[in-house]
Amino acid sequence: MTERLTQYIPHENAMCAFGKQLINAICRLPSQQNVTLYLNGDLGAGKTTLSRGMIQALGYQGNVKSPTYTLVEEYKISGKNIYHFDEKIIYHFDLYRLADPEELEFMGIRDYFADNTICLIEWAEKGADLLSPPDLLVNIGYAENARNIELVAQSTMGQQIIQQLT
């Protein structure tokens, strides 16, 4: 089973293109279970850019805004005629401004990890242990305008996603 994948991302458009490949791999999984990705990397690494690439690949032409102040944004996606599900929801979290992990309790955080949801989480470490464990770590490192992405599987589903990409 494939545990790890590294990808060189020379510019921003390549980041969006990689997001498209990644969301397609996730949507092709036969499972209806929640899929959780932790997006790791310094400020400006490209976590939100990658998320935008993933969401826009599914037909969102509009603005995919950074959920820095709202903590989470919700995107409903239709799988009809393309995938083997009718609808899934992508939850894009940015926990950078989370003052206390208890806020997540008040949000009813567990409900976000239900079946047929995909959770993309920036600054997951701020959520302490209240978040679901990840299926995939997406580690983004940067070198000027280029980036290196490392995917590390943390579950069988994570391994299947990497396998789809290789």
Q: Three-state SS for 30? A: coil
Cβ–Cβ under 8 Å, residues 21 and 107: no
Span interacting with ligand ADP, options 38-46, 82-90, 98-106, 110-118, rule CB under 6 A = 38-46
* Residues 57-116 interacting with ligand ADP (rule: CB under 6 A): none
Burial of 90 (0-12, 13-18, 19+ CB in 10 A): buried
Nearer to ligand ADP, 112 or 123 (CB): 123
- Select from 9, 71, 124, 161 the one that contacts ligand ADP (CB under 6 A): 9
Q: Under rule CB under 6 A, which residues in 118-137 are in contact with ligand ADP?
A: 122
Cα three-residue angle 57-61-63, rounded to 5 degrees: 110
Cα 63 → chain centroid: 17
Task: Give the footprint of Mg ion on this chain (CB under 5 A).
Answer: 47-48, 66, 122
- Footprint of ligand ADP on this chain (CB under 6 A)? 9, 11-12, 15, 41, 43-49, 122, 145-147
